[in-house]
Amino acid sequence: MAKIFVIEDDESIRELVKVALQGYGHEVFDFECAEDALEELKYTKADLGIFDIMLPGMDGVEAVKEYRSTETNGHMAIIMLTAKDSEVEKIIGLDSGADDYVTKPFSVMELMARVRAQLRRYEQPVSNKISLGTISINTDTREVFVNGEEVKLTFKEYELLVFLIENGNKVVSRDELLNKIWGYEYTGETRTIDIHIKTLRQKLGTAGDYIKTIRGMGYRAVKE
């Protein structure tokens, strides 16, 4: 059973998600506004948060940024709900620190699959130290450094980077990345991978060039 925060101002959606999560045995904390959720997160360690982007007062993007800037009560995987099906909105959400996004209207089954995938990844940390060029990763603490400077990555960005580096020169397809990082139950489109890779490259700066796009095949991480 996981502790899951649901932050959604639409009461009907909030109740629908809450009931579905409780049906899987999770403990659910639901909130109408981000401010109340952030206050509770100071005292309660959650495993996953579901944030709507459009909220009264502080919006979901700002709330996620604020939470990620401190994470005083440990790491929490985050899924964002957005009514805007545009690449720009998705990138903004991922850049704020979200690990995944779901576009409204959504099916409860899809959202539950995303939740299960996030919780699986959260429960399976790796335990080695790896590096590539100027990138060094302490996988015990999940810290990423470029030229000695720490780079803050979202949960999914971190998992993508580690998986690509661990596969060396091997070209990894988008489908394989979806299966390994999001879980076999993931029902989204492969465009999700491209958006995450784009934001990951931006955060890594010049070291982002280590991640190569192999047209028609996928990605690989290599120092050239």
Ranges of residues in the chain with a pLDDT under 50 are 126
What was the pLDDT predicted at 97? 82
pTM over 0.75: no
Using left for φ > 0, alpha for ψ between -120 and 50, and beta otherwise, residue 163 falls in alpha
What was the pLDDT predicted at 82? 84
The mean pLDDT of the chain is 86
DSSP-derived letter for residue 132 is E
Domain regions of the chain by residue span: 3-122, 129-221
CATH of domain 3-122: 3.40.50.2300
Decide: 199 and 91 in contact? Cβ < 8 Å.
yes
Decide: 161 and 200 in contact? Cβ < 8 Å.
yes
Residue located via tokens 């996928």? 218
The count of residues in the chain is 224
Report d(CA 89, CA 103) in Å as an integer: 10
What was the pLDDT predicted at 72? 60
What was the pLDDT predicted at 69? 82
What was the pLDDT predicted at 68? 85
Amino acid code (one letter) for 153: L
Per-position b or e across 1-35, b if 16+ CB within 10 A of its CB: ebebbbbbbbeebbeebbebbeeeebebbbbbebb
Residue located via tokens 């109340």? 36
For residue 25, the SS3 value is: coil
Report d(CA 178, CA 184) in Å as an integer: 7
The pLDDT tens digits for 29-61 are: 999 999 999 999 988 889 999 999 989 999 999
How many other C-beta atoms are found inside a 10 Å radius of the C-beta of residue 61?
22
Report d(CA 126, CA 137) in Å as an integer: 11
Residue located via tokens 């919780």? 119
Rounded to 5 degrees, φ, ψ at 38 are: -65, -35
C-alpha dihedral, 119 to 122 to 125 to 131, nearest 10°? 120
The tokens for 172 are 């990894």
Decide: 82 and 53 in contact? Cβ < 8 Å.
yes
| Topology given in CATH for the domain delimited by 129-221 | Arc Repressor Mutant, subunit A (1.10.10)
What was the pLDDT predicted at 13? 94
Report d(CA 167, CA 199) in Å as an integer: 20
Report d(CA 108, CA 2) in Å as an integer: 18
